[in-house]
Amino acid sequence: MDEHKALEAAVEAAKRSPCAKSQRGVVLFHREEGIVGSGFNHPPTPFACDGSEACRAACNKLCIHAENAALRDYLWHRQEAAVHPRDIEMLHVKAVDGKAVPSGPPSCWQCSRLILDAGLKSMWLLHEEGLQAYDPEEFHRLTLAHNSLPVIRAM
């Protein structure tokens, strides 16, 4: 599976998001095995998105992020694929009216640290100029910089 097919699958995942502010979808894919995990942003059960201004303003703090949901899907349901995380690529997409739109720069520190810690091969985002792959460490560094957070490394 290539990143363009993964993008299509991530859009399908995003369409399942009940979020009124921003529908996000993520797939974990392996070049030979295909999709090994998928997820979308959503409030944890039994909570719901009500579309209010308060809900929209706190969305990134209230919802399970699509990246987290995709990793959980891989761990809970798809592990039989026996694919090591270092061979898995993650692709994140924002969907508007069921179509992929540029999602902006690496910016979510919660997800970037999760991606780095999981040991994934790469992280893909859709930008104006097309899909771009990031090394997880680079993705995390860019995310920290975007949020004016310090980059602290072990010696």
Over the range 99-110, which residues count as b (16 or more CB within 10 Å of their CB) and which as e? ebbebeebebee
Q: Give the pLDDT score at 78.
A: 66
Structure tokens at 9: 């699958």
Q: Give the pLDDT score at 147.
A: 96
CATH class of 3-146: alpha beta
pLDDT(149) > 70:
yes
- Dihedral, CA atoms, 101, 141, 121, 72, nearest 10 degrees? -70
Give the pLDDT band of residue 76 (cuts 50, 70, 90): confident
Cα–Cα distance measured from residue 89 to residue 102, given in angstroms and rounded to the nearest whole number: 18
In percent, the amount of the chain with pLDDT more than 70 equals 97
Q: Give the pLDDT score at 81.
A: 60
Count Cβ atoms below 10 Å from residue 22 Cβ, excluding itself: 18
Phi/psi of residue 25, each to 5°? -135, 150
Structure tokens at 10: 């991530």
Domain boundaries, the chain: 3-146
Render pLDDT for 3-21 as a digit per residue (tens, 0 to 9).
999 999 999 999 999 999 9
pTM: 0.94
DSSP tag of 29 = E
